[in-house]
Structure 1
């Protein structure tokens, strides 16, 4: 996402941003976005639907950003991660202003993973698989 800083809140605002996104998208649709790891299958489905519907990245920017915030918030709630503002070097590598730090100190890029899924359109870029195979997470009960 070029100019992503215009659209992505800082780390301290990401939980509220993700919550507002979920409230907005579930108000019209009965989507099971409950911050569980299994709900990431719905995220995969939504991203695939955007692609099949012909959306380009610019038109889908807000939705992709919201889905990335949601994926990150799942990692925060279920894998022991914490939202962090990325430094200039991390931003250059990851292409995003925020990420999540896992309990073992690793930084992951949920916003970038959502973009990869959208751009590739491949099951190999599954967000659910990403979360299930993520290094550095703590195990918490699934909701």
Structure 2
């Protein structure tokens, strides 16, 4: 995988920002970190479905960071490193988003891969709705 920044808690926002730039340049789509923007992310990831997540791995990771940042900026989550046990549970990803208020944990990078691999039934807009509920 070739990402514009390393995949860490500290660089998640920068990685998400790179998605905003790429979506504007490549798709003519303005992503604004709102809940509504996730419908546009679903549409973009739908284009990746036929290619598959292995071929689009870097972009899929970056879109996962964007999804996570939407949760961070709008639903009270924060990025945190995964524990060794969680890495097994969440597909090996080094970070997740968590909400301290109710102990919810979400794996937005893993969700982006599920969306690409499994199609519309794994919608990220719906994922946000579920994870944002208190």
Q: TM-score, normalised by structure 1?
A: 0.82
Segments of 4+ moved more than 2 angstroms: 27-30
The equivalent position to 2:121 in structure 1, one of 117, 120, 124, is: 124
CA deviation after TM superposition for structure 1 residue 124, in Å: 2.6
Matching residue of 1:74: 70
1:1-80 matches, cutoff 5 A? 9-51=7-49, 54-80=50-76
What is the alpha-carbon root mean square deviation over aligned residues? 1.9
CA contact (8 A) 1:100 1:110 kept: yes
Q: Separation in 2 of the partners of 1:56 and 1:36?
A: 26
CA contact (8 A) 2:34 2:74 kept: yes
CA deviation after TM superposition for structure 1 residue 75, in Å: 0.2
Matched, 1:88 2:84: yes
Question: In 2 relative to 1, CA 134–101 (structure 1 residues): closer, same or farther, beyond 3 Å?
Answer: same
Matched, 1:108 2:102: no
Q: Which ranges in structure 1 are unaligned for 5 or more consecutive residues? A: 138-143
Q: TM-score, normalised by structure 2?
A: 0.87
